[in-house]
Amino acid sequence: MKFVIGVDEAGRGPLAGPVSVGVFMAPKNLNKKLIKILGGKIRDSKKLSPKRREGIYKQFKELKKSREINFSVSHISNKVIDEIGISKAVQKGIDMSLYNLHSSYDRKNSVIRLDGLLKAPKEFKNQKTIIKGDEKDVFIACASIVAKVSRDRLLCRLGSKYPAYSLEIHKGYGTQLHIKLIKKYGLSPLHRKSFCKNLTK
């Protein structure tokens, strides 16, 4: 059985919270079923409503439970992003997520498809990077959804820990509300200092 593994990230640009990398694995012949779950169209997870993403994610959880698919999400913290930079942090997330799936697939019979400019470690020989992959490839689109939903859920949980910043509303992105709250309260332990330099002068 040939597996396809889609890879995408969520949270590259926010001022707070982790960057999250989703890896989604399914048999190649499941593509029509996955497209149906997505509503008959492949699209970037950001173009779906939060409610729609959550509904799709719940269906993925059921498929994972019945072992039809597998997926993994790695969250790379804001502190790591500040230490090594966003590109290396995303790469770290890709490596972690792929190795989390390591025992459940045969590398020789698997192809990895990555969004944008992402790359898997060199030892994964059968890989392909697709520009705007989350709008062209169903497996990448599914990886995009698991990464986005997982990260959004995490930010909502963190929002209750740091209520002053309304993280559950903007998910760490640089909205007017978020910037206003940073200027009022300063940076929290969740903020990416390297992304907020101009806001704290």
What is the average per-residue pLDDT within 53-68? 96
The per-residue pLDDT for 156 is: 96
Give per-residue pLDDT as tens, 5-50. Answer: 999 999 999 999 999 999 999 999 999 999 999 999 888 888 899 9
The two tokens of residue 135 are 């709008």
**How confident is residue 1, by pLDDT bands cut at 50, 70 and 90?**
low
User: Strand, helix or coil at 81?
Assistant: helix
What is the spatial order of strands in the sheet that 19-27 belongs to? 70-76, 19-27, 3-10, 110-115, 127-130
Give per-residue pLDDT as tens, 137-179. Answer: 999 999 999 999 999 999 999 999 999 999 999 999 999 999 9
CA separation for the pair 81, 194 (Å, rounded): 8
**How confident is residue 2, by pLDDT bands cut at 50, 70 and 90?**
confident
Q: Which residues on neighbouring strands pair with residue 110, listed in sequence order? A: 3
The per-residue pLDDT for 106 is: 66
Structure-model confidence comparison of residues 104 and 58, the more confident one? 58
The per-residue pLDDT for 185 is: 94
CA distances from 83 to 6, 79, 133, 174 (A): 27, 6, 29, 20
Burial class (CB in 10 A: 0-12, 13-18, 19+), 102: exposed
The per-residue pLDDT for 102 is: 66
Quote the pTM value. Answer: 0.94
Give per-residue pLDDT as tens, 67-85. Answer: 999 999 999 999 999 999 9
Give per-residue pLDDT as tens, 95-144. Answer: 999 988 866 566 677 899 999 999 998 888 899 999 999 999 999 999 99
The per-residue pLDDT for 199 is: 84
Superfamily (CATH) of domain 3-156: Ribonuclease H-like superfamily/Ribonuclease H (3.30.420.10)
The per-residue pLDDT for 110 is: 84
Q: Which residues on neighbouring strands pair with residue 19, listed in sequence order? A: 76
**How confident is residue 198, by pLDDT bands cut at 50, 70 and 90?**
confident
What is the amino acid identity at position 64? K
